Structure 1
Amino acid sequence: MQLTLASHLQREYPAAVTPDELSADEADDLSVQWVLQQQAHLGGQVLLLYLTARDRDEHPILDALQDTGGVVTTTERSMSRSGWAGGPVLAALPNLKSLGMLGDNRRTSALCALTWNFEAIAPWASAVGAQLRGADSDTAPAPAAGDAVLERAMISVTRRVNMNNTLKAGFEKSVVVGALQLLRDHHHVLDAGDLYAWALAHGWPARRVAELRDIVGHMNAGKNPRIPRDVHRDDSYARWKDPGDFDRA
């Protein structure tokens, strides 16, 4: 049974990523081609974003893009002062945090991640269905929370929390941590990467997704976060386990 949330919760945009088997020049060239194609289709201004200034070394193909008229080149720290008006983004050597930030930015019309470490950003690629540039497979595999019970629990959590509030305090912490503890007590595997990808694909803002990943990571490291109060009903797990009960809830 495939469970999804309403599509209006999801922020959708064209996305691409470079797999590790490409050479540096191939990855640079395919990324530039893709982002210029998106600009031709969607309009807007191309943003070439480096994580740090140190990452700008020895990229002649990206240097050529940078010299193209109308392309804004900057680093993550300086992005707010770059004057970028919005459009397709080529993120050079990004991390999950920067990709989440760019995905949440309404000015981002398309996003290409140029990486030499695909595994490090695989949860993002999976969440957004990124096209694999130059690879045999068209897109990154779709995210899954792990199993049907865990996915129903995550849907329940998503419906209850206010994404404007941190997950590390108050009611939101009680909902998220309480649900994860229930799942762990019933021997479900909590994979931080899988849950990150699932939450991002289901409309969670990047800050909350990062908090969820941190919480799961701490729990998997043997820590047991305290919750302000128990907000889950005695039959919560039973409802997550029974599709019929969950659908009627």
Structure 2
Amino acid sequence: MSQKIHANEQSEIQNEQSGDYNPFEFPELVKDADEPLILGPAGETFDFIQTGKTTDGKYLFAKLVVPPHVGPPPHVHHWIDEWFYAPNGGFSIFVGKNRYPDLEKAPGKGAPKDTLQIVQMRPKELFYVERNIVHGFANVTDKPQELYLVWTPDTPDVSFLPYFLNAGTIRDPDNPDQIPDFMSKIRLVSMASTYGKNQSDSFWQFVEKIEEIDHIPNMVDNREKLLELMSDTNKCQ
């Protein structure tokens, strides 16, 4: 891949998720992952574009197609940070107010439940959620929507890729109406802790209350960090 990505072409200062809408132009990256398409428990399709195998462990990048009115229940990553990017909008993202640093003390089970702030994602909007924070998302429209997810790091000891491969179902290219395997929903929860994740099995399991707001105060999208990761990896390929 020959494209070189410059952070200063995107923004000279770190963008805040605020009333000042600052769309993000996601870099065009060539797919170099050879992983199969995965059908997730909610019927979402994961297309892995780049993995730690080719990014020197810096990140894992997937493009999702998410069916209408679905998304993963609230969960917490303890080993990785995550970006969310909605090219066309259409999603609600929910982010907790508290931190949960202990994998053995999930919200509502050894730790207090959380308050989730729910925000509508606008087209080309980028969100960044650090590890140890409850979060999730849902397609709130009546048609499938595309969502980009980036997890960092993606080294063998913390990679999230095996979780998707083991919990999900390989997409059958000859079956466009394929539905998720029943066990996918079970494995989504039962395998989570192996990969440094607390995964709820329903929305309210980790949640005490919600706040529907226009933007999350003081939340930065860390676009410079994302662009730096991708530039460091791709300028040498």
Quickly name the TM-score band, shorter chain normalised: under 0.3
| Larger proportion of strand | 2
Q: So what's the TM-score if we normalise by structure 2? A: 0.28
Structure with larger Rg: 1
- More helix, by proportion: 1
For normalisation by structure 1, the TM-score amounts to 0.27
